[in-house]
Amino acid sequence: MPETSDIFLFNKVKNGDTVAFEEIFRRYYNDLARYCFTLVRDETIAEEITQEVYIYLWEKKDNIEISSSLKSYLFSAIRNKSINYIKYELPKQRILIDISDTVLVEGTVFHEKNDIKRLKKKIQVSINQLPEKCKQIFLLSRYGGMTYKEIAEDLDLSVKTVENQMSIALKKLRDLLESDLKNYLNE
């Protein structure tokens, strides 16, 4: 039974056995990296997150208690780290969102770098003003590239709730950004 041997291996890891750790690494790394990729949709990031989970497992081995399934523990760790990446790190990397989709403006041309910087800042501030659930759903959709169905499953919500929250988020963003966009269009 794999779970039993996993627990046996992990107990050896707790005693500092690097060979047991390498076996756990070989046993699950590819599956964990593939799973992570389905969440973050970036191969490099998926590999980094997977490696971070293994580093954490080694560094915190004395404090980690696994009583049933090492595999479940590892997949849960990947899921949690991926969600944190989508929520907190990805927005920092992708500040400029698809303006035409978010605020429904067509044909806007920004000639000045300062205009783009100010608009990026305003968009980020506007996103941060959204109610927490709206913001979370918006970020998972726009920055995480997740479908409404994936978001619903991930957050344990109905697809209709996700759709409603996205509608609220987009309306609030349009309202918050409307005057700035009019200023840009009139300049």
pLDDT value for 99: 44
Mean pLDDT of 120-129: 79
The percent of residues in the chain predicted with pLDDT above 90, rounded, is: 32
pTM of the model as a whole: 0.51
Domain boundaries, the chain: 2-92, 94-186
Range with the poorest average pLDDT among 71-75, 100-104, 180-184: 100-104
Structurally, what CATH architecture does the domain formed by 2-92 represent?
A: Orthogonal Bundle (1.10)
- Give the 3-state DSSP-derived string for the chain, with helices as H, strands as E and coil as C: CHHHHHHHHHHHHHCCCHHHHHHHHHHHHHHHHHHHHHHHCCHHHHHHHHHHHHHHHHHCCCCCCCCCCHHHHHHHHHHHHHHHHHHHHHHHHCCCCCHHHHHCCCCCCCCCHHHHHHHHHHHHHHHHCCCHHHHHHHHHHHCCCCCHHHHHHHHCCCHHHHHHHHHHHHHHHHHHHHHHHHHHHHC
Q: Is the pLDDT of residue 7 over 60?
A: yes
In this structure, of 56-60, 71-75, 83-87, the range with the lowest mean pLDDT score is 83-87
CATH code for 94-186?
1.10.10.10
